[in-house]
Amino acid sequence: MAASRNTKPNSDSDPYYELLPSDTDPARLKRERDKSRKLKKSQWWHRKIGAGICYYCQNKFPPSELTMDHVVPLARGGKSQPGNIVPACVECNREKKLRTPAEELLTKKS
Ligand SMILES: [Zn+2]
């Protein structure tokens, strides 16, 4: 049998990563999403969005325009905990998708 790999690059055309089955386990994702839902109600988070600074572009936004973003996405093995959760404006959140910060740097360099 010829050499074959069953971890194909994600066909969604982002060449920088592959999704691991263990990281995308639905039960784990649900647990982490539940955690971030709780964090959203916490004082800690309200202070974050109260400051109004987008973690990525450093611009100031009203709290209502900031979304909760996982620096390392849950589907990439990230966790719902302070340190991995930052406020992001809608624009930055959309641009980032499922990349990690290192990959973000790679794609910005071009
Ligand atoms: Zn931003």
Over the stretch 79-101, which tens digit does the pLDDT of each residue have? 999 999 999 999 998 887 666 66
Task: Quote the ligand 1 centre to 7 CA distance (angstroms).
Answer: 33
User: For residue range 35-73, what is the model confidence (pLDDT) as tens digits?
Assistant: 999 999 999 999 999 999 999 999 999 999 999 999 998
Task: Quote the ligand 1 centre to 97 CA distance (angstroms).
Answer: 13
Q: Going from the N-terminus, what domains does the chain have, and what CATH number goes with each?
A: 32-109 (1.10.30.50)
Global pTM?
0.70
Task: Quote the ligand 1 centre to 60 CA distance (angstroms).
Answer: 8
Cα–Cα distance for residue pair 56/61, rounded to 1 Å: 12
Task: Quote the ligand 1 centre to 69 CA distance (angstroms).
Answer: 11
Q: Which pLDDT value is given to residue 45?
A: 97
Task: Quote the ligand 1 centre to 25 CA distance (angstroms).
Answer: 29
